Amino acid sequence: MSNQIHGAQHFDKSKRLEIKFSEDVMQIAQSIISRYPQGKQKSALLPILHLAQAEFGGWLSPETMDYVASILKIKSIEVFEVASFYSMFNLKPMGKCILEICQTSSCWLNGAEDIVKYIEKKLNIKVGETTEDGMFSIKVVECLGSCGTSPMLQCGASYHENLTFAKVDTLIENYKSESKRKSYTDLDYKNTL
Amino acid sequence: MGKKLLIHNDKVPGINTLEVYRIHGGYSSVEKALKTMTPDQVTDEVKKSGLRGRGGAGFPTGLKWSFLAKPEGVERYLVCNADESEPGTFKDRYLMEKIPHALIEGMITSSFALGAKTSYIYIRGEYFYVARILEIALAEAYAAGWLGKNILGTNFSHDCFIQVGAGAYICGEETALLESLEGKRGNPRIKPPFPAVAGLWGCPTVVNNVETIAAVCPIINMGGEEYAKIGIGKSTGTKLISASGHINKPGVYEIELGLPVEEFIYSEHYCSGIRNGKKLKAVVAGGSSVPILPTELILKTAKGEPRLMSYESLSDGGFQTGTMLGSGGFIVMDEDTSIVKNLFTFTRFYHHESCGQCSPCREGTGWMEKILQKFLNGTAIESDVELLWDIQSKIEGKTICPLGEAAAWPVAAAIRHFKQEFLDIAKNKKFIDISHYNRLNKIVA
Amino acid sequence: MKVTIDGIQIEVPKGTTILQAARMIGPEVAPPAMCYYSSLKTSGGYCRTCIVKVTQGSSANPSPIPKPVASCRTEVMDGMVVENNINAELLEARKGVVEFLLINHPLDCPVCDQAGECKLQDLGYGHGSAATRFEFKRREYEAIDIGDKIKLHMNRCILCYRCVKVAEQITDNRVHGVISRGDSSEISTYIENIIDNDFSGNVIDVCPVGALTDKTFRFKQRVWFTKPVDAHRNCDKCSGKTRVWLKGEEVVRVTARKDQWDEVEEFICNSCRYDYKKTSDWVIEGPSPIHRNSVISQNHYQHLNELKLQALKQQNALGFMPLDKKP
């Protein structure tokens, strides 16, 4: 089973990193928690995980999950159960730009498969893989609500719609050259959550 | 062209800002409700309007509101279901992106009717940039006093928050949504109790779709009776339709319910016909879970009457010859489309999105996908069609939540109306995706 | 409240579920249940094997419920009429559920420690088909230790959630749960954690299949070659009332006692379960009541009918008399 997760069981405890939100991020976290009634702070789990994923390298390491559990005063297993349920949370490191190509009906009707093949060839990796420089990962995903503007792909918070091969060329060049694009944090979670 | 009530201003520059929205009559329903009406009067107008849930199930909104338990001293909540994830559906995204204040206005007016001091908008995680647009609009609304303490100087105070999901179609099911909002896995709850009695954190809760909540504004402004005059029969008002697939003009259209399907597909005001001069083959009229219909049955009912875009007309003939309006996700397929391959993408979707709680859905969706993969590989045999039929029938109605039906219905309908296509693949031992070259032309251009 | 199940009427208190009412009538009408566990709150509803057909909702609202309902999570209404074993369509639907539970379940009964006391074996025998229609590779996971005395064979798990609810409700620190989703869902501890607390062993007893097994008993003995006796000892952590499984004079295993529905009567602590493996540690009360159809009962007991009668009398003494027992 390729998606078996409990391989993570062999995680090396001695290599644990110290994880902590900076003061301003902690303030955001606290303001998220304050949206829910007293004692219901677990409700903030999804947004806090988004924040943590953006802050700590674009994935949720065991240290990150432990840290989130400690902030929300819940058990680590509760964080793990949730983190592994939702498709937007990564439980392993990913490339800086994750190209998520929609493959459901309308996107397929309009050529998503050819877009996938084109990107695979262009980046010389397959779906599910990351380029050697750690820049790009390719993922196929299910309907992203962009059926009228298909085919499409999502990268970070950006929707790239009505894709053609030429558009794919441009967007990949743009991501490559965008020096200001540091990581997954381009989602601008800090200003949204 | 019929009446438009929700997105008539979508092309106005700056309509996403409070200032422009207000100039175009925005927030008048809040003024009218808070200053001149009681909460029960607001609910009554919604009842009179005949508004039905726009998320897919079509349940009468006023009735749903009237089920809300109101025990003394217990908080009540309104939760907006903005987890739009049904393949083929993108109307809520359009509405929130273009006119975010329409949703916020509806949230305030509806919360007033329900007596909810707090409301939440649960938006799917992938719509992150839309959540940002909503956050900005919320901040504007707070700054202008439309939200917060003593709105318009009345006793009514209200807070509205946004929560982003994290990628799970199942969270569009209202009890799974509430679980997710509570920071848990999106596992649907076993009902009863229904959210109206025990919803968010065990408190009475109403969960409504984005479009439903936005429609409350024009209903309050014009009055329920006036609203009920729009549309046809029990399908009152307007509906946002997400049109996609092989049409000349895909996009979101607001239609008056009752518009003939043929007009919607071919009129230049709407989809403008099939792309590349091809012929129509089939339509999925209400999002991926509703039964697919071939041309002859989508344009006309089995009785030979013109098929209309309304709850009743689309379901005329039951599942034998009809379908459902559902979420209004209108996917059009041309004559070169493989129904089998399209079904495969749907089934893969439901397999991917099954929460895994109950066995028929957890095991059955994956099994159906594997069998359909055999068709695409050209290794299927004729009896696989019967097997598929049997599996879907054993999922349908046996699951905790409607995802079971959503996964079963498309399989049943594809076999019901296009069985020969399955049999041909099994007989010829190969599958050729004939529409491939047409699509390639579009994306090479 | 009066409810009629397969033609037999019974009066039950408000709040009783259809499954409980059916069990009060007796095993002839009780639906099978793989995930429901009466002593665990919020259990049930997942496996769907206990589905029944409600042909009349109540006296007040006689219309039928269109879809089959999970009897373990549906409360009876006064005048409700339920069909279980007499409804052919329902039995066909249940057969479908059983098939779903089996398609990814390995055919490793010959090497599975649960064989002989596996609920899925019973279910497959009673409600399944002899042949499988699933021609694909089954899901595979490695077997792992999730505690020094507990082995997890995820391959065999049917995701009943019972062990999760035991950890949540009767131990003080839940470290395992269900992760991922859909058919990738699995039981897992959090990263490298192990389940370690005084009552952890109970997850083994509630597991209906061979997914969680007792490492101290693994491969020691086929269960049908052992002889279960009810026994007790003084224990400061639990009631000390257990079932001791003997092979000759040797204690090969200690479990909690189970009732006629195969549910644990009282959860036991790990000391009782693992630390007292001599017959002299226990006061033996007598042979455990085992269903006469069970392989475990073969050749061990002669007086099972008597035991069954006793159990029925006990039920009646509790006031759950079948009112109208038609054939």
Of residues C141, C144, C190, nearest to A77 (C-beta):
C190
Structure confidence at residue A15 (pLDDT): 60
Structure confidence at residue C208 (pLDDT): 97
A10-24, A133-147, B293-307, C193-207: range with lowest mean pLDDT: A10-24
Residue A10 touches partner C, C-beta closer than 8 Å: yes
Q: Check if the beta carbon of residue A61 is closer than 8 Å to that of residue A76.
A: no
* Interface touch C182/B362, C-beta < 8 Å: yes
Optimal mutation site among A2, A11, A68, A77, interface C, most CBs of chain C within 10 A: A77
Token pair for residue B66?
């009237």
Strand ranges inside B124-209, DSSP E: 159-164, 205-209
Chain C residues near residue B379 by CB distance under 8 angstroms:
none
The pLDDT of C281-294, averaged and rounded, is: 86
Residue A58 touches partner C, C-beta closer than 8 Å: no
Q: Is A97-187 the same fold as A6-83? A: no
Residue C143 touches partner A, C-beta closer than 8 Å: no
Name the helix (H) or strand (E) containing B40: helix B39-49
User: Mean pLDDT, 10 residues at a time, over chain B (445 residues)?
Assistant: 92 97 97 98 98 95 97 96 97 98 98 98 96 95 97 97 97 98 97 96 98 98 97 97 97 98 97 95 97 98 97 97 97 96 97 97 98 97 98 97 97 98 95 79 76
Nearest C-alpha in B relative to C102: B363
Structure confidence at residue B15 (pLDDT): 97
| pLDDT band at A7; cut points 50, 70, 90 | very low
* Interface touch B351/C99, C-beta < 8 Å: no
Structure confidence at residue C326 (pLDDT): 34
Q: Return residue ranges of chain B for CATH 1.20.1440.230.
A: 339-428
Length of chain A equals 193
| pLDDT band at A177; cut points 50, 70, 90 | confident
For residue B238, the cross-strand partners are: B256
- For the cut 70, the answer to whether the pLDDT of residue C320 exceeds it is no
Of residues A113, A157, A193, nearest to B129 (C-beta):
A157
Which residues, including other chains, have CB under 8 Å from residue C267's CB and lie 6 or more apart? C39, C166, C170, C199, C202, C205, C238, C256
- For the cut 60, the answer to whether the pLDDT of residue C315 exceeds it is no
Chain B residues near residue A85 by CB distance under 8 angstroms:
168, 185-186, 355
Residue A6 touches partner C, C-beta closer than 8 Å: yes
Optimal mutation site among C19, C36, C47, C48, interface B, most CBs of chain B within 10 A: C48
* Interface touch B182/A43, C-beta < 8 Å: yes
Domain ranges of chain A: 6-83, 97-187
* Interface touch B363/C48, C-beta < 8 Å: no
CA-closest candidate to residue C161, choices B355, A43, B169: B355
CATH node for B339-428 = 1.20.1440.230
Which residues, including other chains, have CB under 8 Å from residue B275's CB and lie 6 or more apart? B246, B247, B248, B334
Read off the DSSP letter of residue C192.
Answer: T
Strand ranges inside C138-249, DSSP E: 144-145, 150-152, 176-179, 186-189, 212-214, 227-232, 241-247
Optimal mutation site among A101, A104, A150, interface B, most CBs of chain B within 10 A: A104
| pLDDT band at A193; cut points 50, 70, 90 | low
| pLDDT band at C322; cut points 50, 70, 90 | very low
Q: Mind telling me how many Å the CA of B51 is from chain A's nearest CA?
A: 24
Structure confidence at residue A5 (pLDDT): 46
CATH node for A6-83 = 1.10.10
Structure confidence at residue C68 (pLDDT): 97
Residue entry with tokens 């050209």: B378
Diameter over CA atoms, chain C:
61
What CATH fold (topology level) applies to the domain B18-225? Rossmann fold (3.40.50)
Name the helix (H) or strand (E) containing A98: strand A97-102
Burial label for C18, CB within 10 Å (0-12, 13-18, 19+), is: buried
Q: Return residue ranges of chain B for CATH 3.10.20.600.
A: 237-332
Pick the CATH number of A97-187 from 3.40.30.10, 3.40.1010.10, 1.10.12.10, 3.30.1490.20: 3.40.30.10
Chain B residues near residue C184 by CB distance under 8 angstroms:
356
Residue A75 touches partner C, C-beta closer than 8 Å: yes
Phi, psi of A41 (to 5 degrees): -65, -20
Structure confidence at residue A174 (pLDDT): 87
* Interface touch B356/C97, C-beta < 8 Å: no
Structure confidence at residue A57 (pLDDT): 87
- pLDDT tens digits for C78-90? 999 999 999 999 9
Structure confidence at residue C297 (pLDDT): 66
Q: Chain B: which residues have CB within 8 Å of chain C?
A: 168, 185, 190, 351-360, 362-367, 370, 387, 390-391, 393-395, 397-400
The pLDDT of C180-207, averaged and rounded, is: 91
Identify which has the larger pLDDT, C128 or C85. Answer: C85
Structure confidence at residue C306 (pLDDT): 55
Number of B/C CB contacts below 8 angstroms equals 86
Structure confidence at residue C131 (pLDDT): 86
Read off the DSSP letter of residue A147.
Answer: G
Q: Check if the beta carbon of residue B322 is closer than 8 Å to that of residue B286.
A: no
Q: Mind telling me how many Å the CA of A32 is from chain B's nearest CA?
A: 9
Of residues B185, B242, B284, nearest to A85 (C-beta):
B185
- For the cut 80, the answer to whether the pLDDT of residue C295 exceeds it is no
Structure confidence at residue A192 (pLDDT): 62
Chain C residues near residue B362 by CB distance under 8 angstroms:
100, 159, 182-183, 185
First to last CA, chain B: 33
Give ipTM to 2 decimals.
0.95
Q: Check if the beta carbon of residue C138 is closer than 8 Å to that of residue C104.
A: yes
* Interface touch A145/B444, C-beta < 8 Å: no
Number of A/C CB contacts below 8 angstroms equals 61
| pLDDT band at C169; cut points 50, 70, 90 | very high
Structure confidence at residue C302 (pLDDT): 45
| Class of the CATH-defined domain B237-332 | alpha beta
Measured between alpha carbons, how far is residue B207 from residues B87, B196, B197, C55 in Å? 21, 9, 12, 30
Optimal mutation site among C141, C179, C193, interface A, most CBs of chain A within 10 A: C179
Structure confidence at residue B445 (pLDDT): 66
Q: Chain C: which residues have CB within 8 Å of chain B?
A: 44-48, 51, 66-68, 70, 73, 93, 96-97, 99-101, 103-104, 133-134, 136, 158-159, 178, 180-185
CA distance B235 to B328: 13
> C-alpha C63: how far from its chain's center?
32
Name the helix (H) or strand (E) containing C9: strand C8-11
